[in-house]
């Protein structure tokens, strides 16, 4: 029998390590089981390297469009191996800092592939030949890149996002199968690097989880960037060719490119980990949990991508903190119980060009609960947006004579406005509440202020 802990966390991704850090901070002894590196997919194969690549793409686009600002320059070449090296350096710095923090907090890293098992009738984590018991367990094993039947992902011509991040050479052309967040981010970055791109989406629009108006604006922006978008198009067949890959759509259309990225979503990493054998209820592969993230096994919690809902690192962070505090509260360490995480309150960002940021309900979602009122403020009226030469808008959704329940934005750098948008919707602010706040000039945050001024009935730089 190996060491026992107050808490064992299975998986050291965003949610898992956040839970471990907060639990250790609260005085619990913590074991953190991980088969790879602390930080998980987000740090090593997802959020961080992808956004580093997107920043490099932004630099390339700035050089290409520099003449608009009186700066005449030319791109000598796009060194994709150099871009990968830059992204790796960012990941390495963050990883070293995170590893040091985990060690500083006294968390025991259990290296190896862990499985859930029953030990003396209680859940435990088995790693290699050792079994680790704890009063509480947290399942945080993350997600994997989904594929489709009939697709042979070889990592050379047909890729997942993990493969795409390790390319050391740019293709001349690429098909992106899937128009969700991952798909449009890679499409945007590769287009900035000069790749001919076709995005194929089976649903009627890109980024279908966003407000309809945002999807329409993104498709228009992609068209101006000469990114070919095909929606309402399901895959029929796909096969590698001598020069690349050929994709046949259900409507009979044939597409060819040098490579194809499969970006059709991510699935929960719960298979072959002993979950069901230990009594954990699953639904379509996701762990079934209560509002307080309890599984069907007493003392065991689940969080992050294994729980149905938004698959976002910051949702995992928040759920990790919540679970640690929930356990501490039940042990009498914390007097007040933590507030459960609600997906509608979690900000959503897509780092394509133009960026998308939103929080709360879309107009369609809000309409299911009754009448709604909306207002769209065009960034053409915002000074900083004109300086950046970006197009887009801020759209507000509110209940009639009530609080704002949704904020939806598209345009360069709008990701930095997500924090204020979250405060507005989470605190159920009325338009008049935000209209009374002074937003610094010239900033893009003024667009949020102007939108609320208009919705409060006193428009300034807008017709109303």
Instruction: Indicate which residues carry an active-site annotation.
Output: 441
Classify residue 464 by its DSSP letter: -
d(CA 21, CA 41): 18
Which tokens is 41 given? 């997919």
Q: Which residues contact 391 (CB under 8 A, 6 or more apart)?
A: 221, 354, 379, 380, 385, 411
The CA-based dihedral angle spanning residues 47, 48, 49, 53, taken in that order and rounded to the nearest 10 degrees: 90
Structure tokens that stand for 119 in this block: 């030990």
- Using CA atoms, how far residue 464 sits from 67, 368, 392, 410, 456, in Å, is 36, 27, 18, 21, 11
- Other Cβ atoms less than 10 A from the Cβ of 350: the count is 24
Query: Which residues pair with residue 123 across a beta bridge?
Result: 118
> Can you list the positions of beta strands (E) in 202-275?
228-230, 235-240, 245-249, 254-257, 259-262, 266-268
Query: Which segments of 45-204 are extended strands (E)?
Result: 108-111, 114-119, 122-127, 130-139, 143-145, 158-159, 173-177, 196-200
- How far is the CA of 129 from the CAs of 111, 113, 118, 316, in angstroms? 12, 11, 14, 29
End-to-end CA distance of the chain: 71
Could you count the other beta carbons within 10 Å of the beta carbon of residue 172? 12
CA 162 – CA 141 distance, rounded (Å): 17
- The 3-state DSSP class for residue 234 equals coil
β partners of residue 247: 238, 255
The DSSP code sequence of 2-52 is ---EEEEEE--SHHHHHHHHHHHHTT--EEEEESS-TTHHHHHHSHHHHHH
Distance separating alpha carbons of residues 95 and 268, to the nearest angstrom: 24
Nearest to 407 by CA among 452, 351, 456, 460: 452
């Amino acid at each position: 029998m190996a060491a026992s802990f107050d808490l064992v966390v299975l998986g050291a991704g965003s949610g898992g390590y956040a839970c471990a850090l907060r639990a250790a901070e609260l005085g619990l002894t913590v074991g953190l089981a991980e088969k790879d590196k602390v930080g998980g997919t987000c740090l090593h194969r997802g959020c961080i390297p992808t956004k580093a690549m997107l920043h490099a793409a932004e630099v390339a686009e700035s050089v290409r469009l520099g003449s608009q600002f009186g700066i005449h320059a030319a791109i000598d070449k796009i060194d994709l191996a150099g871009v990968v090296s830059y992204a790796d350096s960012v990941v390495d710095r963050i990883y070293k800092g995170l590893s040091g923090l985990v060690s500083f907090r006294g968390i025991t890293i259990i290296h190896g592939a862990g499985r859930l098992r029953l030990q003396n009738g209680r859940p435990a984590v088995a790693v290699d030949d050792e079994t680790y018991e704890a009063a509480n367990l947290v399942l945080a094993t993350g997600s994997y890149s989904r594929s489709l039947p009939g697709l042979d992902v070889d990592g050379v011509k047909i890729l997942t996002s993990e493969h795409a991040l390790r390319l050391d050479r740019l293709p001349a052309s690429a098909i992106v199968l899937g128009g969700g967040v991952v798909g449009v981010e890679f499409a945007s970055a590769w287009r900035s690097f000069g790749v001919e791109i076709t995005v194929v989406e089976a649903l009627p629009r890109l980024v279908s989880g966003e407000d309809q108006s945002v999807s329409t604006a993104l498709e228009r922006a992609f068209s101006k960037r000469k990114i070919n978008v095909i929606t309402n198009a399901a895959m029929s067949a796909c096969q590698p060719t001598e020069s690349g890959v050929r994709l046949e759509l259900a409507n009979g259309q044939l597409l060819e490119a040098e490579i194809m990225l499969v970006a059709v979503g991510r699935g929960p990493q719960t298979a072959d980990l002993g979950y069901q054998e230990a009594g954990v209820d699953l639904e379509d592969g996701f762990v079934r949990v209560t509002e307080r993230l309890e599984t069907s096994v007493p003392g065991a919690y689940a969080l992050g991508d294994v729980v149905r809902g938004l698959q976002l690192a910051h949702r995992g962070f928040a759920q990790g903190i919540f679970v640690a505090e929930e356990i501490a509260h039940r042990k009498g360490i914390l007097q007040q119980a933590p507030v459960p995480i609600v997906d509608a309150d979690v900000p959503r960002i897509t780092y394509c060009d133009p960026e998308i940021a939103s929080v709360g309900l879309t107009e369609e979602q809000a309409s299911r609960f009754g009448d709604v009122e909306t207002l769209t403020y065009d960034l053409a009226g915002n000074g900083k947006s004109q300086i950046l030469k970006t197009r887009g808008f801020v759209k507000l959704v509110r209940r009639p004579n009530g609080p704002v329940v949704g904020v939806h934005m598209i345009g360069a750098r709008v990701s930095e406005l997500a924090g204020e948008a979250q405060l507005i919707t989470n605190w159920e602010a009325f338009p008049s509440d935000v209209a009374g706040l002074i937003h610094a000039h010239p900033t893009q945050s003024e667009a949020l202020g102007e939108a609320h001024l208009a919705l409060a009935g006193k428009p300034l730089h807008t017709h109303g």
